[in-house]
Amino acid sequence: MPILSKTELFKILPSEAHDVVFKAHRLNELRRLQGREQTQSFIDDRGIVSLFTGTELPSIQEAIEGTLASDTHDGIIKSGFGIAWIWAQDLPDQSRCMYCLFLREKATFIARRHWASLIAMGSPDHHQARKAKHISAIAYQLANYIETQGPTSGDLLRKALGHTGRAGDQTFRRARRELEKQWIIVPIGIGEHRRGADPHTWELTGRWLPPHILEEALALSRQEAMANILLAGIDATLAVDEQAVFRWFGWTRSITGRLVKGLLEREACFRVDGSNPILISQTLVDAWPRV
């Protein structure tokens, strides 16, 4: 069966569950986001939130518009997209939320309570990561440049290291993505949205994070961290097609399957069987009559 999109899934939710989910995703006129502080509270509440539409997560763009939305309508970019981008420029904050290209490589905000699990999934020290062969020589060179020069815009970083032209751009993006996947670098600033440009300013994650987050990460195994983040995604959505979670993080199906099984066994989340099995969070159980 094809994976149910958010729109398709929400159409089949039981009425009580539908109301809970729509309230949490702020998908009505009365709960529309009205400013940056409300947006930050939205991120704090849900834990993991996408900036734009296109994922199963709660969406800042949709919460601004107060409805499930697409990026464009009749070829015109909707207002919520532009407002979301403008507000996002002020949101990355060491005290409250991190911005990253995370779930399905989409622009995502993650509340502070999940940072230790994110870091525990990677190798945030680029020197150690290179020794362990977790990153390439080019990726290591990128991280070294940021270490010596300080936070650097993506376009400046690409030019400084000589990655010009189409081939250079592809090489740069691959190397940058290596560093992101290992949580070695994090975007700490967002500039103007221009086609083909990298609007982000990049910093070493270990230098940007509060020290105690790194200490908390050391106490977690990679498997524990992965389970924590998978559950955080389910809790953020409240209800999601089970097959959708297999494409969230780029993990193998066997790894994701084991993690889902473990979460279900300890009743950290629940499965609603059907032609498209649905995973629901603990908080939605009372509103779902079939569970």
User: What is the pLDDT, as a whole number, of residue 96?
Assistant: 85
User: What is the pLDDT, as a whole number, of residue 75?
Assistant: 43
Token readout for 119 is 């870091």
Question: How sure is the predictor about 133, in pLDDT bands with cuts at 50, 70 and 90?
Answer: very high
User: What is the pLDDT, as a whole number, of residue 76?
Assistant: 42
- Bridge partners for 204 per DSSP: 185
Q: Where are the beta strands (DSSP E) in 149-234?
A: 152-153, 185-190, 200-204
Does residue 74 have a pLDDT over 50? no
Does 82 or 152 have the greater pLDDT score? 152
Does residue 73 have a pLDDT over 50? no
Question: How sure is the predictor about 147, in pLDDT bands with cuts at 50, 70 and 90?
Answer: very high
- Bridge partners for 190 per DSSP: 200
Phi and psi at residue 91, to the nearest 5°: -85, -40
Greatest mean pLDDT range, 25-29, 64-68, 81-85, 254-258: 254-258
User: What is the pLDDT, as a whole number, of residue 194?
Assistant: 66
Residue 162 neighbours by CB distance under 10 Å: 9
Distance CA 155, CA 144 (A): 16
User: What is the pLDDT, as a whole number, of residue 193?
Assistant: 65
Rounded mean pLDDT of 271-285?
A: 95
CA-to-CA separations, 83 to 27, 43, 80, 138, 193, in angstroms, rounded: 16, 16, 5, 36, 12
Lowest average pLDDT, out of 26-40, 78-92, 98-112, 248-262, goes to 78-92
Distance CA 31, CA 34 (A): 9
Rounded mean pLDDT of 231-249?
A: 97
Tell which phi-psi region holds residue 125, choosing left (phi > 0), alpha (psi between -120 and 50) or beta: beta
Rounded mean pLDDT of 240-268?
A: 97
pLDDT in tens, 89-131: 887 777 789 999 888 889 999 999 999 999 999 999 999 999 9
Residue pointed to by tokens 């464009």: 72
Which of 179, 173, 12, 188 lies closest to 109, judged by CA? Answer: 188
Token readout for 70 is 């697409």
Predicted TM-score (pTM) of the model is: 0.92
CB 161 within 8 A of CB 145: yes
Distance CA 243, CA 223 (A): 20
User: What is the pLDDT, as a whole number, of residue 195?
Assistant: 65
Distance CA 38, CA 61 (A): 13
pLDDT in tens, 48-71: 999 999 899 999 999 999 998 754
Taken in order 9, 258, 50, 20, the sign of the CA dihedral is: positive
Token readout for 263 is 């979460």
Does residue 285 have a pLDDT over 80? yes
Does residue 163 have a pLDDT over 90? no
pLDDT in tens, 183-234: 999 998 887 766 667 888 999 999 999 999 999 999 999 999 999 999 999 9
Rounded mean pLDDT of 255-276?
A: 97
Question: How sure is the predictor about 77, in pLDDT bands with cuts at 50, 70 and 90?
Answer: very low
Does residue 236 have a pLDDT over 90? yes
Mean pLDDT taken over the chain: 91
User: What is the pLDDT, as a whole number, of residue 290?
Assistant: 64
